[in-house]
């Protein structure tokens, strides 16, 4: 097996080099685009094609030929060993039959003189041919996906780099187009100065598209600030409440109370009761709207009341109706829709749409430590028009939570383009 890499300015030129050196029977193993320097003036992209030729498959063993007294013949191409098409094989068989029947006595056929030949064993040939085809298909697919489409080719290197990074961050395509168009209108590739500058422009645009609500502020004495957390099961509502309650108690020195309305999961009730005991915070467990109103009245003299609600599936109409009634009884000052940033984009859109009836006014994002794709933060702001309140980056209470800032989030979504 002979394997070699070929480099050229275009794929076509690389394939010509392969054919010239290894011949038409070479198999393409891999192909990739090699990036040139960041600045267009110092060179263009090139392409590398890895090809192989199994020389033993296309030549007869010389020793065997010598032993038989047969002259060495040129190696056959792979087509010589491949099975013929069905229609061609049938046609040849019919012609052969007609020839033989012409020289036989009337009424007799060739089958009277010889048993039928066993079918040719073509399974091995089919298997080899299929492997070659699969290898070539994979190489071509890799090559096609590595090439920029026609629209990207018109952008220029800097804008293509920005678009690629935004796509990898999972920013919605429509938002990417808006950002690229805005940068393009300000300057062409020839006068941008540097790719880093273009990335900074993109960061500024993303920063402007991310709205934040900042830290919650306690009300005047005698009126508690009511902060409710809503969202699907398992996104971290109870843990987020524990972090925020600890922060405001320990660092802001405020009087904090807890109310839990999660009457669907015993584990959730036990979790918040355990936390309340550790943090020396009062907590009430409620099961309906009337009990909620009594608990809120009981804690009205505190600085803040954090309200934990049951996780609800956005697809369960009955559960969503229950949540809507509970939220009407709370009259919260802040309603945080808690979402995991690792949730699928399509599910995030559905959740934000269906939870609109619960009247959330900001979004708290969790599990930022479990992903490297931060584009959904930008998508959530743009698609819902709601600000981001807090971001959670782990399980540690109270440390792994912070107020969202547009500048820091923009830098998470898109880097500086220096690499």
Identify whether the C-beta of residue 47 lies closer than 8 Å to the C-beta of residue 31: yes
* Residue found by looking up tokens 């998470």 in the block: 412
Q: What is the pLDDT of residue 121?
A: 56
Q: Is 418 within a domain?
A: no
What total of structural domains would you count in the chain?
4
280 and 390 co-located in one domain: yes
64 and 107 co-located in one domain: no
Rounded Cα distance between 82 and 174, Å, is: 49
Q: Phi then psi for 314, rounded to 5 degrees?
A: -65, -15
Q: What is the pLDDT of residue 79?
A: 43
The alpha-helical segments, DSSP class H, found in 187-332 are 195-209, 237-250, 266-279, 289-298, 317-330
282 and 370 co-located in one domain: yes
Cβ neighbours around 63 below 10 Å, total: 8
HSE (side-chain half, CA atoms, 13 Å) at 83: 16
Pick from 152, 164, 147, 154: which is nearest to 188 by CA? 154
Q: Is 216 within a domain?
A: no
Q: What is the pLDDT of residue 266?
A: 67
pTM over 0.85: no
* Residue found by looking up tokens 């041919």 in the block: 129
296 and 276 co-located in one domain: yes
Identify whether the C-beta of residue 197 lies closer than 8 Å to the C-beta of residue 418: no
Q: Is 266 within a domain?
A: yes
386 and 290 co-located in one domain: yes
Q: What is the pLDDT of residue 223?
A: 84
HSE (side-chain half, CA atoms, 13 Å) at 8: 13
* Parent domain of 160: 150-209
18 and 69 co-located in one domain: yes
Q: Is 179 within a domain?
A: yes
196 and 73 co-located in one domain: no
Q: Is 413 within a domain?
A: no
58 and 130 co-located in one domain: yes
Pick from 158, 167, 175, 163: which is nearest to 374 by CA? 167
Query: Would you write out the chain's pLDDT as a tens digit for each of its 419 residues?
Result: 788 888 888 877 888 888 888 888 887 877 777 766 543 444 566 888 888 887 765 555 444 444 444 444 444 443 443 444 434 444 444 545 554 444 444 444 434 444 555 555 555 666 777 777 777 777 766 555 555 554 555 567 888 999 999 999 999 999 999 999 988 887 655 444 578 888 999 999 999 999 999 888 776 566 899 999 999 989 999 999 999 999 999 999 999 999 998 766 667 788 889 999 999 999 999 999 999 999 999 999 999 999 999 887 777 788 888 999 999 999 999 999 999 999 999 999 999 999 999 999 999 999 999 999 999 999 999 999 999 999 999 988 988 999 999 999 999 999 754 43
Q: What is the DSSP letter of 212?
A: B
Q: What is the pLDDT of residue 221?
A: 61
Dihedral-angle region of residue 324 (phi above 0 means left; psi in -120 to 50 means alpha; beta otherwise): alpha
Residue 348 sits in a domain whose CATH number is 3.40.50.300
Q: Is 214 within a domain?
A: no
242 and 166 co-located in one domain: no
Q: Across-strand partners of 147? A: none
Identify whether the C-beta of residue 165 lies closer than 8 Å to the C-beta of residue 415: yes
204 and 268 co-located in one domain: no
Strands 46-53 and 2-8: antiparallel
244 and 296 co-located in one domain: yes
Q: Is 219 within a domain?
A: no
Q: What is the pLDDT of residue 120?
A: 55
Q: Is 65 within a domain?
A: yes
Q: What is the pLDDT of residue 301?
A: 92
Q: Across-strand partners of 257? A: 305
113 and 258 co-located in one domain: no
Q: What is the pLDDT of residue 9?
A: 84
């Amino acid at each position: 097996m002979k394997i070699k890499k070929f480099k050229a300015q275009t794929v076509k030129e690389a394939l010509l080099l392969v054919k010239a050196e290894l011949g038409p029977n070479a198999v393409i193993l891999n192909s990739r685009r090699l990036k040139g320097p960041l600045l267009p003036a110092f060179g263009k992209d090139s392409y590398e094609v890895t090809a192989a030729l199994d020389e033993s498959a296309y030549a007869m063993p010389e020793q065997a030929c010598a032993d038989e007294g047969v002259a060495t013949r040129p190696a056959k191409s792979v087509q010589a060993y491949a099975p013929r098409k069905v229609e061609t094989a049938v046609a040849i068989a019919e012609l052969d039959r007609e020839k033989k029947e012409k020289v036989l006595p009337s009424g007799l056929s060739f089958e009277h003189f010889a048993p039928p030949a066993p079918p040719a064993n073509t399974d091995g040939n089919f298997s080899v041919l299929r492997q070659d085809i699969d290898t070539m298909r994979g190489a071509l697919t890799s090559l096609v996906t590595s090439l920029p489409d026609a629209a990207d080719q018109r952008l220029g290197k800097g804008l293509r780099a920005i678009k690629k990074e935004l796509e990898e961050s999972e920013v919605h395509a429509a938002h990417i187009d808006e950002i690229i168009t805005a940068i393009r209108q300000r300057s062409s590739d020839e006068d941008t100065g540097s790719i880093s500058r273009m990335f900074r422009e993109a960061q500024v645009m993303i920063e402007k598209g991310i709205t934040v609500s900042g830290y919650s502020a306690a009300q005047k004495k005698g009126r508690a600030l009511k902060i409710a957390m809503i969202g699907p099961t398992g996104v971290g509502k109870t843990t987020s409440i524990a972090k925020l309650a600890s922060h405001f108690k320990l660092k802001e020195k405020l009087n904090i109370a807890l109310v839990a309305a999660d009457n669907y999961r015993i584990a959730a009730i036990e979790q918040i009761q355990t936390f309340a005991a550790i943090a020396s915070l009062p907590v009430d467990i409620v099961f309906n709207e009337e009990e909620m109103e009594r608990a809120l009245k009981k804690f009205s003299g505190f600085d803040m009341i954090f309200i934990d609600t049951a996780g609800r599936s956005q697809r369960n109409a009955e559960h969503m109706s229950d949540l809507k009634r509970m939220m009407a009884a709370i009259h919260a000052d802040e309603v945080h829709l808690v979402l995991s940033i690792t949730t699928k984009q399509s599910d995030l859109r559905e959740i934000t749409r269906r939870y609109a009836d619960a009247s959330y006014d900001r979004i708290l994002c969790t599990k930022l430590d479990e992903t490297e794709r931060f584009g959904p933060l930008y998508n959530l702001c743009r698609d819902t028009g709601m600000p981001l309140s807090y971001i959670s980056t782990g399980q540690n209470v109270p440390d792994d939570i912070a107020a969202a800032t547009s500048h820091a989030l923009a830098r998470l979504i898109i880097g500086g383009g220096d690499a």
